[in-house]
Chain A
C-alpha cells in the first residue's frame, strides 16, 4: 500500500522542514504543494525530502490540496493523507488515520478534535466559532461529523477519485465532508490532537466559508 502525504503550504518556511521530516517516516511519499510562497518554503521542503509542486499564483489551500491529490493519484497512491504545514498536527497520528482504510473499514477518515484527545483550543473557537460551524454544517449541509473544520484526513484512492475539491480556499473542509456523504463512501472519524500555535480561522473566516459554500452550490 502506497501512502502519500499531501501538505499544502503557503509561506511556511518556519515550519515546513520540521513538518516534512516528521511525516516522512509514516508515509511512502510526501508531496508539498507550494502555493506561490514568497519565502523559502519550496526549497526547504525539497531539502527535507518532499516532492514539491509549485502553483504559479496563489490559489488557496483547497486548490493546493486538489493539486496534491491529482499528483498523488497519477503517481499511484493507494491512500492520500492531508496534513497541515503549520505544525499543528502530530505526525505519529497518521498511523491512526490510515488504519481504518488499511483494515478495510472505511473509504475516508476524518480527524476530530472532539473525540477525547486533548487540544489546546482558543476560548472563542471552542465556545463560539465551532458551535456555529456545527449548526451550519449539520443543518445546511447535512453533515453529521463531530469536527466540521479539520484538515487532517485520510482518503482511499476510491475516495480521492470521487471527491473533487472545488472550493479553493478554506471551505474545502466542509465540501469534502459533504461530498463524502453524497458519494456514499464509508466514513470514519478518528480522535486527533491539535496544537494551536496561533488563532487560525477567525469568525469572519467562518462567514466567508459559509458564503463560498453557498456560491459553489449555486454555480455547480
Chain B
C-alpha cells in the first residue's frame, strides 16, 4: 500500500512536470498526449496491481504483477533506445548532406 502511494506520488510529479513543460511550450501537443497516456497507464497498472497478480496467476505465470510491469518497462526502454538510435542516424545523415552542400557551394565561390 505504501509502495503504491509512493509510486503514485512519483507519477503525479511527472504528470505535473509534463503539464508545466506544455505550458512553457517546451513540448508539442502530441508529445503531451503520448506521455500522459504512458503515465496514466502506469498509474492504472499500479492501482490494479492485485488484479494483474490474479490475471498472471490465472494465465499460469509464476511472476508477480510488479515484476511483470518491470519487464514491460525494460522492453519499452529497449524500444525507445532503438528508436533514438535510428533518429540519431537520420540526423547524422542530414548533417553529412549539409556539410556536403556547404563544401560544394564554397567550391563554386572559389
Contacts and interface: CB of A to CB of B under 8 A. Distances in A.
Interface of A: 33, 51-57, 59-60, 63, 66-67, 70-71, 74, 166, 168, 215-216, 218-219
Given A215-B85, A218-B86, A219-B86, A55 B103 contact: yes
B104 A67 contact: yes
A168 B96 contact: yes
Contact of A219 (B90, B95, B104): B90
Given A63-B96, A168-B96, A56 B103 contact: yes
Given A218-B86, A219-B89, A53 B96 contact: no
A53 B104 contact: yes
B79 to A, nearest CB: 14
Contacts of A166: 93
Nearest to B102: A56
B20 interface: no
Interface residues of B, number: 15
B107 A71 contact: yes
B100 interface: yes
Contacts of A71: 104, 107
Interface string B80-110: 0000011001101101100110111011000
A215 B99 CA distance: 21
Contact of B100 (A51, A66, A74): A66
Contact of B99 (A51, A59, A74): A59
A55 B99 contact: yes
Contacts of A57: 95, 99
11 contacts: A33-B103, A53-B106, A54-B103, A55-B100, A57-B99, A59-B96, A59-B99, A60-B96, A66-B100, A71-B104, A218-B86
Contacts of A70: 100, 104
B96 to A, nearest CB: 5
Contacts of A74: 104
B85 A63 contact: no
A55 B107 CA distance: 10
Given A53-B103, A53-B107, 17 more contacts: A51-B107, A52-B107, A53-B106, A54-B103, A55-B99, A55-B100, A57-B99, A59-B96, A59-B99, A60-B96, A63-B99, A63-B100, A67-B104, A74-B104, A215-B86, A219-B89, A219-B90
A166 B107 CA distance: 22
B67 to A, nearest CB: 31
Contacts of B85: 215
Nearest to A75: B107
Contacts of A67: 100, 103-104
